[in-house]
Every structure is written in structure tokens, then in C-alpha cells.
Amino acid sequence: MTAQEWKSYGKFVRINNNDLFVIDTADETSSKETIVIINGYPSTSYDYHKILPTLSEYYRVIVHDHFGFGFSDLPDTYCFSLMDQANVCIELWRKLNLKSFSILADGYGSKIAKEILYKKNANLISFNIKKLLICNSVKNDFYSDLNTITALIRNKKLAKYKNILMNYKNNLFYELSVENKKYEDKAKIDRIWQKFNELEHQKEALVLCCYNEETYLYWHRWMSALKETNIPVKIFWRKDDFANIKDLLLNLASDHHNNIEIIENKHCFVLDREPINWLLMILRELDQTAYHSYKYEFATA
């Protein structure tokens, strides 16, 4: 499937004056249960194109591209924060008039999902969240071209680099430098700003570091969100995914709760290589009936 074909399946929803690309496989009148997918960094809704036709037979599936990724807009004041991304999700679900759904969160999306869980615990949102599935669907080497960035991020000196970038995060920086005559010319400011926006990789580094920072800033908040919730949570892990194992150990180290189930992805299925098996694994935890019927259908085909 080409990117343009994929685009034709979706629609754009206006959120905070920017267009968000959304795939919605059914509408409000559908009798199917709803599942929303929060994808990870730096993937897009397109990653799910192999499983979407099947999953949508059983569910109304909603998946969107986060702002700054895929077909969604890159807002002027670009939201770097997971908090903002969580708010965008909530705003979208409100606009689509969703009442009750399960969440499938992938990679970094799991942090957004935990923030949403926290908001749910604090009674800030009224959605009925039926289940939360947390997984990491990509192999680590999948985005190997990002390795330079990963190396950069692990670099202790990056903090300084990041600070420089952060100062260019919006043109406010120039507006505020009132004493600096150099920036008086508005057109010039716009040009500098535009130039900066063209340097994609700068932004990428920035986004990732911000995510990393939020991970430790709000670690306790998100951990307690998991502890306090009554919603069934299923966490998938596989032995070749180190980052996840660390998270998992932290989960296990804290108190054990009945509603949290930790499931091993024994064969290390990943979405792009074994989509059918991956989907079966998810369906099995999501809905036994759907799982059996699909398994049967798949075996007979």
C-alpha cells in the first residue's frame, strides 16, 4: 500500500487549529466495540496497515498520527511534550464522541496512555476505558537510521545542544529579544524561523530528549497511575527489547496488583515482520471470541 492510498482511507480532524490525520474504520452508529491505538515514536498510523483490515472486522479501530508525524500538521508552536500529545488524544476522542473503548499503546505511546490513565484516575475525563494494552511492536533495529540520534541522546553533552535548540523552539525567542536590534525586522524573523523548521533532524533530537526528560520527571505520576487504576492492564514484553524489560522490572518491583497482567511475547513477534501472529497475540488478550474466530479463519484460509 502506498502512502497516498493510506491517506485516502483517513480523514482530517481539526484540533487546536491544526489538522490531525485520523483513521477511523467505522462511525458512531457501528455496533462494534471501539479500540484506539496510540502509536509510538517515531512511527505513524501507517505501521498498522497490515493488521488494520483484520482488526476492523471485529472492532471500530481509531488510530491517528501524532502532531509532527505522518500526515498530521506540524503546529507552529510545536508540542514537544507527552502531556500535550495526551491532551490531543483526549480532544480527538471527545470530537469523535467516543464513550467507551480499549486502548492499545505502543512504545512511547504507552507513556501517553499512562498519562491518560492518570487523568482517568483523577476523574478529569469521563471516558469508560475498558482495557489498556501496552506493547512495543517494533524491533529495535527497525529505526537503525535513527541510531546516530540515539547515540547523541545518550551523550551527556547533549543537554547543552538541546538547550540551544529549545531556545529556537518558537519565534517568541526573537520577539522577546527587544533590546536586540538585529531582530527588529519581522520578515527576517520569519525567514530564520522557517529555515530552522527545515532542519528536520534538529527537531527529532529535541522531541526525543523531551520525552526522555518527561519520563523521569513524571515517573512517579505514571507509576502510581498504573497502581491506582481498576482498569485491566496488560503489558507485553519480549526478551530482545531491553528498554521494555527495564520498565517491566520496575513494575514488578512495585506492589503487585491483580488488574495488571504481564505477558511474555515468547516468539518475539513484531508488527512489521509477523503481523498476523502479532495481532493474534493481541486479540487473545483483548477478546477471546474474536481471537478464536480469527484463528479458525486464518487456519482454514
Partner 1 sequence: MNISDWQAKHQTIKLFNQRVSFIDSVVGDKVVLVIHGFGMSSFDYHKVIDELKLSYRLMIPDLIGFGFSSKPTNFYFSFIEQAQMLLRLLEEHNIKEVAIMAQGFGASILCEILSIINAGFSDLKVSKIWLLNLSLSVELSPNMEAQGQILKYINAGFMKMVSSFEMFKKCIRLNFCDANAISEEALKTSWELLLLNDGLKTLNFINYWGVEILQSSNRWLDAIKNTNAPIEIIWGMDKSSGDIDTPERINHFLTVEKTHLIADCGYFPMFEKPSIFIDILKGV
What is the contact surface with partner 1 in residues (CB under 8 A)?
77, 79-81, 83-84, 87, 90-91, 94, 119, 122, 124-125, 163-164, 166-167, 169-170, 172-173, 175-180, 210, 213-214, 217-221
Instruction: Tell me how far, at minimum, the Cβ of 205 lies from partner 1, in Å.
Output: 15
What's the grid cell of residue 60? 471500530
What are the DSSP calls for 158-220, one per residue? HHHHHHHHHHTSSTHHHHH-TT-GGG--HHHHHHHHHHHHH-HHHHHHHHHHHHHHHHHHTHH
Instruction: Tell me how far, at minimum, the Cβ of 120 lies from partner 1, in Å.
Output: 11
Q: In sequence order, which residues have a C-beta less than 8 Å from that of residue 282 and are 6 or more positions away?
A: 104, 133, 135, 236
| 222 or 291: CB nearest partner 1 | 222
Which residues pair with residue 264 across a beta bridge?
A: 237
| 55 or 205: CB nearest partner 1 | 205
| 50 or 120: CB nearest partner 1 | 120
**Could you tell me the strand order of the sheet in which 18-24 lies?**
11-15, 18-24, 59-64, 33-38, 100-106, 128-135, 233-237, 260-264
Instruction: Tell me how far, at minimum, the Cβ of 229 lies from partner 1, in Å.
Output: 14
| 154 or 220: CB nearest partner 1 | 220
| 142 or 218: CB nearest partner 1 | 218
Instruction: Tell me how far, at minimum, the Cβ of 224 lies from partner 1, in Å.
Output: 8
Instruction: Tell me how far, at minimum, the Cβ of 123 lies from partner 1, in Å.
Output: 9
| 7 or 119: CB nearest partner 1 | 119
Q: Tell how strand 11-15 and strand 18-24 pair up.
A: antiparallel
Cα 225 from chain centroid (whole Å):
17
Instruction: Tell me how far, at minimum, the Cβ of 124 lies from partner 1, in Å.
Output: 4
Residue 131 sits at the vertex; the CA angle it makes with 235 and 238, to the nearest 5 degrees, is 15
Instruction: Tell me how far, at minimum, the Cβ of 264 lies from partner 1, in Å.
Output: 29
Q: Alpha-carbon torsion 137, 140, 145, 147, what sign? A: positive
In whole angstroms, what is the distance from residue 282 CA to residue 291 CA?
Answer: 9
| 91 or 204: CB nearest partner 1 | 91
In whole angstroms, what is the distance from residue 89 CA to residue 108 CA?
Answer: 14
| 52 or 89: CB nearest partner 1 | 89
Q: In sequence order, which residues have a C-beta less than 8 Å from that of residue 37 and are 6 or more positions away?
A: 45, 48, 61, 62, 63, 103, 104, 105, 106, 109
Instruction: Tell me how far, at minimum, the Cβ of 81 lies from partner 1, in Å.
Output: 6
